[in-house]
């Protein structure tokens, strides 16, 4: 009997099957991670409707400057509305990263989006 036949005995095959099953359940049966009652779009809408001090603290600029920057980026910088994300949310997420040095994970949590979305 060669070494490979010894590895493929019924007992080892059961152990391998159990390991594959555990891996699959971890990959395909995930619990939702982003479960805030406010979506990123709702968060930004609420932020932009709040008082001037809060807007300045979060965006690092007055609301009028934020809206002017948004308009300029739409006209000159290829900022476009996405199917699922507004230009306000995209810009707000960018400002969180550069203005507050938020990590990808922090932006994911605040705006209820995936890491891929933040990176993109």
Residue 72 covered by a domain: yes
Query: What pTM was estimated for this model as a whole?
Result: 0.70
Report the pLDDT value the prediction gives residue 31, as an integer from 0 to 100: 64
Across the chain, mean pLDDT equals: 87
Residue ranges in the chain whose pLDDT is less than 70: 1-7, 27-32, 34
Same domain, 72 and 21: no
Query: Pick from 47, 30, 31, 29: which is nearest to 110 by CA?
Result: 47
Report the pLDDT value the prediction gives residue 13, as an integer from 0 to 100: 79
Q: Which domain holds residue 16?
A: 1-30
Separation of alpha carbons 107 and 103, rounded Å? 6
Report the pLDDT value the prediction gives residue 9, as an integer from 0 to 100: 77
Same domain, 60 and 107: yes
């Amino acid at each position: 009997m060669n070494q490979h036949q010894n590895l493929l005995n019924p007992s080892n095959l059961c152990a391998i099957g159990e390991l594959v099953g555990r891996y699959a359940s971890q990959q395909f049966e995930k619990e939702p991670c982003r479960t805030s009652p406010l979506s990123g779009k709702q968060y930004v809408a609420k932020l932009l409707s709040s008082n001037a001090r809060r807007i300045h603290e979060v965006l690092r600029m007055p609301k009028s400057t934020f809206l002017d920057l948004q308009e300029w980026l739409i006209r000159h910088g290829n900022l476009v509305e996405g199917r699922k994300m507004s230009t306000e949310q995209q810009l707000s997420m960018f400002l969180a990263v550069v203005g507050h040095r938020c990590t990808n994970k922090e932006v994911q949590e605040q705006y209820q989006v995936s890491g891929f979305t933040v990176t993109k």
